[in-house]
Structure 1
Amino acid sequence: MTDKGRASRRAGRLARAAGATAAVLVLATAGAGAWFYHRIDHNISTFSADGIATSRPPAAPTASGGGRPVNVLLLGSDTRTDGNDELGGGEAGVGHSDTAILLHVYADGKHAVGVSIPRDTLVTIPSCKLPSGRWTTARTNQMFNSAFTVGEYPQGNPACTQNTVEALTGLRIDHTIVVDFKGFAAMTEAVHGVEVCVPNDVDSYGIHLSKGRQTVSGQSALDYVRARHGLGDGSDIGRMKRQQAFVSSFIKKVQTQGMDLTTLLPLADAATRSLTVDPDLGSAMKLATFAQSLQGVKLSGITFVTVPWQFAGARVTLVHPDVDTLWEMLRQDRTLDGHATGQSTAATPGLISAASPTPTASADPSAGPGPGASASAGGTAVTVQVHNASGAAGTAGRAAAALRTLGYQDVVIASDTKLRSTTVVGYAAGHRAEAEQLAARYPGAEVRQDASADGLLLTLGTDHATGDPAGAAVLPDAVPTGITGNARPADSDLCSDLSFG
């Protein structure tokens, strides 16, 4: 086959893949010739894999049907550099990831769930790489969106945010994608606008929107997803509800238009000019292959959910054990109604479709709980750093995920260390009782005081190479209301549930 023939065949694959995309960024890469393929290839920016943690949760296994769950971290950067200040206002500088959606595409290839993480959520930011090559130490009680600023990289630090999400969820992130203001605006214009519903008139902070259904694009679309003040209680929670509704409407628009190349070509161009992606998505062909893998996901098969949360003063904390159940459901490839999708590994028994009410609790006595917040199921708030000394891949990530389901609220995946045969639980002064409690989860583990520990330091040896603690049965008999009460089907009415407070 000639080069021209190969280019034409390759362009055809890109065009077919373009119609398959069903995610917030609609990764549609289409081509009408070799020139377009090369243009798309040239557009794409990638971030370095050097900043991705070496100790990570294990990759999801392949299901019996041959598919595999895929986790994609979608980030919206509010950086004002490179002309973005013309759309977003404010001062130039390193941006934050004020929009974060963890997209879990199920192994059956027909369902997906987008998990919104509030920007103000207090989390542990694990070790992340600085421009100097040095790695930071883990920091607790940090705002989630600040992970993107670590190192003050000109285009942000998506690798650090990815590390943070992996440490938080125990899920391995397969791909990370970042879009800025300009890219978002360009994509909405490429599809000739997106239908939205504005709950009330907005005229504040330079944002002017009229109440009711309307089609928005460019600046007005950006204003819709960014607006906080003048809507509901002005919190990030209400803004995320509108972002979920917008993404649903965007997906509907693209899927309805189908294979219209007059739309797909400018959309592909706009999307790739605005994306910063991980190296595994760093070419037009890789993006097209990923897009093609999403072709079976229809709007009715997509659900959005905000992590179980509650206010803690001006910040947000995650609600345990509901959030732990959510992460475990995704690790087991369960849909939000508790159904399995055929993953090959044995799922933990539990979960039925009906949600059972659970009592509410607040991390701050003066702060009211968010919807569906439930009480924590024991555990401890002491920091637990997990090192993998077993020689087996993914051990620390698996242990961290399981410990969170047991009620350990602050678990950090630390670096791998040299091989050892026996598991050790080190503890800082004053934490021996907690160390013995943790060691009981790992029979035969040695307990000893460790001056380097900040709380507890769990070093897993070859005697516990799986990382699984004893008693880590995690799924309740019903899906918690902290999950069901924060969920939004993508095909919901456009004007429903658009604000909080």
Structure 2
Amino acid sequence: MSARRAGGPKTGSSRGRKVRRIALWTTAGIAALAVTAGGLVYYRLNGNLSTFGSDGISKDRPDAASADAQGRVPVNLLLIGSDSRSGSNRDLGGGDDGGARSDTAILLHVYADHKHAVGVSIPRDSLVAIPSCLLPNKNWTKPQAGAMFNSAFSVGNTEQGNPACTQNTVEKLTGLRIDHTMVINFQGFADMTSAVGGVDVCLPKPVYEGDLNPNLGHRGKLLFEQGHQKISGQAALDYVRIRHGLGDGSDIGRTKRQQAFLSSLIKQVKSQGMNPVTLLPLADAVTKSLTVDESLGSAQKLVDFAMSLKDIDLHDIKFLTVPWRYQGERVALVHPDADQLWAALKADRTLDGQDASAGPAPADSPTAAPGQSTAPAKVDGTGIKVAVHNGTETAGLAGKAAATLEASGFTVTDRANAASHTHATTLVEYGPGEQAKAEQVAALFPGATLQAGSHAGISLTLGADYAAGNGTTAAPPPLPTGPLPTSVSQARSADDDTCSDLT
């Protein structure tokens, strides 16, 4: 058969190759446009987001949580609801006087296994100790004893509030280190509920305008019918703010409804799929009204944090209020119940007394005998530089740790004694943007604590726990065990019916 003449009709094979090339370039072009569009969305969201400085965070803080045997660490997020009087918040019910108040505060503890989470509400009228806090003029206040909890957010009397002071107060109250703090105002809350298409709620009885605003002087029009309904925007904001006309009219009763609302909101978001495609519109709705700490200060970090929660089953997301009792018109925390709750969270134990940090040991990892270290995790430290410091009186530990690091590909830049020789726990400190690398280091030293710093670089400070693993000192004490008091263990699950346990 003769060859086809130049310019003659093309064969089916040639046409097929051309079609495939066109399809390939079309697909590549669409992908490039999608990436560019996604980048522009993140850029816009980053411009919307506000952060508060770390200069107001107390220097006297609880230790960061330790990593478990798999290198995982629990996360503590402080969520603050602000009723700032500035901007559009005034039209949504923020009031006419200046400043900002926090009527809602929830400490969310995400367990190291990222399979469980607990949100603990702290009543706004709780009597607590407020530590020294930074004012706008850069002076520090004197500590206050027996102050109302929500007054911490108002220290300095600014339109933005003082999230750093609230964070300091929660750390002092709980003994837990707060990893991230997030403040959302009225406008952001309303926009968020609209972005997800509304949230299912339940009312134990009809609610009228006069219930939302007792100063109205008459019942007013009907705001909510009794029973199940889907709400968003201003209606959702009214729902979580209703205090009078339901139950005993207290803030505690309102807190229960807020917990039910958050459970329903989480259920709605998860039903739509926990992925960037569904989360970005939600982020777009709230970033203009959101203030976060510097380490959470980008849209990408917010979405990444949300994505880290996607594998938590609704039944394993719990909400409760810290054990409390009335003290006159205020609220006092009940001891030792509250102390046991904080201790359980610090030990990463669930409300039924299980250790959420304990995961199945890798198949090739033998069980360690008391006083001996487990087999090092398999980690690739190529390109990661680490300075090693001995924080104990035991000689030779820096050299042993350096050898462990170098065997996994890390570059050890320094071997020296730490300024203090009384470190109980091994510490991995890291600079901005280096958390992932620090987690690689911590994976080689089970039980090590991760701590963010302001200076670049990663340093490993060895503590008595590392010395114990090398057979030189006693092992650290065991974690607390056993179930928590009924006041703590009876919590709402995110999959509970929205009409249950309301006042």
- TM-score, length basis structure 2: 0.67
- CA separation of 1:171 and 1:45: change in aligned 2, threshold 3 A: same
Match among 336, 357, 364 for residue 321 of structure 1: 336
- For the residues of structure 2 that align with 1:104 and 1:138, how far apart are their CA atoms? 26
1:211-253 Cα deviation digits (max 9, x unpaired)? 1100000111001111000010011111111111100100111
1:129-150 Cα deviation digits (max 9, x unpaired)? 0111111111001000000000
- CA separation of 1:124 and 1:90: change in aligned 2, threshold 3 A: same
- For the residues of structure 1 that align with 2:325 and 2:424, how far apart are their CA atoms? 31
**Partner of residue 317, structure 2:** 302
* Partner SS state of residue 200, structure 2: strand
* Partner SS state of residue 215, structure 1: strand
Query: What amino acid sits opposite 2:350 in the alignment?
Result: T
**Partner of residue 128, structure 1:** 133
* Partner SS state of residue 245, structure 1: helix
- For the residues of structure 2 that align with 1:64 and 1:473, how far apart are their CA atoms? 15
**Partner of residue 140, structure 1:** 145
* 1:58–1:394 CA contact under 8 A, matched in 2: no
- For the residues of structure 1 that align with 2:143 and 2:31, how far apart are their CA atoms? 49
Shift of 1:484: 2.3
Structure number having the greater helix percentage: 2
- CA separation of 1:391 and 1:276: change in aligned 2, threshold 3 A: farther
**Partner of residue 39, structure 2:** 34
Identity of aligned residues (%): 59
**Partner of residue 500, structure 2:** 496
Shift of 1:263: 5.3
Match among 281, 289, 304 for residue 266 of structure 1: 281
**Partner of residue 75, structure 1:** 80
- For the residues of structure 2 that align with 1:333 and 1:393, how far apart are their CA atoms? 21
- CA separation of 1:477 and 1:191: change in aligned 2, threshold 3 A: closer
- For the residues of structure 1 that align with 2:206 and 2:116, how far apart are their CA atoms? 35
**Partner of residue 50, structure 1:** 55
- For the residues of structure 2 that align with 1:281 and 1:155, how far apart are their CA atoms? 17
Query: What amino acid sits opposite 2:500 in the alignment?
Result: S
1:307-341 Cα deviation digits (max 9, x unpaired)? 00000111000000000000000000000011111
* Partner SS state of residue 500, structure 2: coil
* Partner SS state of residue 153, structure 2: helix
- For the residues of structure 1 that align with 2:86 and 2:40, how far apart are their CA atoms? 29
**Partner of residue 474, structure 2:** none
Shift of 1:285: 2.2
In the alignment, does 2:112 pair up with 1:93? no
Equivalent residues in 2 for 1:226-241 (5 A)? 226-241=241-256
**Partner of residue 331, structure 1:** 346
Query: What amino acid sits opposite 2:270 in the alignment?
Result: Q
* 2:83–2:103 CA contact under 8 A, matched in 1: yes
* 2:212–2:244 CA contact under 8 A, matched in 1: no
* Partner SS state of residue 255, structure 1: helix
* 1:62–1:343 CA contact under 8 A, matched in 2: no
- CA separation of 1:118 and 1:10: change in aligned 2, threshold 3 A: farther
Query: What amino acid sits opposite 1:202 in the alignment?
Result: V
Shift of 1:473: 9.5
**Partner of residue 190, structure 1:** 195
- For the residues of structure 1 that align with 2:73 and 2:31, how far apart are their CA atoms? 30
**Partner of residue 179, structure 1:** 184
Shift of 1:298: 2.5
* 1:197–1:214 CA contact under 8 A, matched in 2: yes
* 1:8–1:34 CA contact under 8 A, matched in 2: no
Equivalent residues in 2 for 1:75-474 (5 A)? 75-203=80-208, 204-206=210-212, 208-258=223-273, 264-342=279-357
Q: Which runs of 5+ in 2 are unaligned?
A: 1-27, 214-222, 360-418, 426-462, 465-476
* 2:270–2:310 CA contact under 8 A, matched in 1: no
1:49-75 Cα deviation digits (max 9, x unpaired)? 110001100000111122110000000
Q: Return the structure number with greater relative CO, CA threshold 8 A, min gap 6.
A: 1
Equivalent residues in 2 for 1:13-28 (5 A)? none
- For the residues of structure 2 that align with 1:96 and 1:311, how far apart are their CA atoms? 21
* Partner SS state of residue 248, structure 2: coil
* Partner SS state of residue 65, structure 2: coil
- TM-score, length basis structure 1: 0.67
- CA separation of 1:478 and 1:97: change in aligned 2, threshold 3 A: same
* Partner SS state of residue 83, structure 1: helix
- CA separation of 1:289 and 1:264: change in aligned 2, threshold 3 A: closer
- For the residues of structure 2 that align with 1:8 and 1:394, how far apart are their CA atoms? 51
- CA separation of 1:10 and 1:246: change in aligned 2, threshold 3 A: farther
- CA separation of 1:302 and 1:473: change in aligned 2, threshold 3 A: same
- For the residues of structure 1 that align with 2:31 and 2:298, how far apart are their CA atoms? 17
**Partner of residue 355, structure 1:** none
- For the residues of structure 1 that align with 2:249 and 2:489, how far apart are their CA atoms? 23
Q: Alpha carbon RMSD of aligned pairs, Å?
A: 2.9
* 2:212–2:243 CA contact under 8 A, matched in 1: no
Shift of 1:268: 1.8
- For the residues of structure 2 that align with 1:498 and 1:300, how far apart are their CA atoms? 18
* Partner SS state of residue 479, structure 1: coil
In the alignment, does 2:80 pair up with 1:65? no
- CA separation of 1:101 and 1:167: change in aligned 2, threshold 3 A: same
- For the residues of structure 2 that align with 1:131 and 1:89, how far apart are their CA atoms? 22
- For the residues of structure 2 that align with 1:178 and 1:69, how far apart are their CA atoms? 21
Larger radius of gyration: 2
* 1:187–1:271 CA contact under 8 A, matched in 2: yes
- For the residues of structure 2 that align with 1:199 and 1:187, how far apart are their CA atoms? 24
* Partner SS state of residue 345, structure 2: helix
Query: What amino acid sits opposite 1:93 in the alignment?
Result: G
- For the residues of structure 2 that align with 1:104 and 1:220, how far apart are their CA atoms? 29
* Partner SS state of residue 250, structure 1: helix
- CA separation of 1:128 and 1:202: change in aligned 2, threshold 3 A: same
* 1:85–1:92 CA contact under 8 A, matched in 2: no
Query: What amino acid sits opposite 1:494 in the alignment?
Result: T
- For the residues of structure 1 that align with 2:478 and 2:329, how far apart are their CA atoms? 34
- CA separation of 1:496 and 1:63: change in aligned 2, threshold 3 A: same
* 2:117–2:318 CA contact under 8 A, matched in 1: yes
* 1:328–1:474 CA contact under 8 A, matched in 2: no
1:170-201 Cα deviation digits (max 9, x unpaired)? 00000000000000000001111100001111
* Partner SS state of residue 112, structure 2: coil
1:337-392 Cα deviation digits (max 9, x unpaired)? 11111259xxxxxxxxxxxxxxxxxxxxxxxxxxxxxxxxxxxxxxxxxxxx9786
* 1:65–1:108 CA contact under 8 A, matched in 2: no
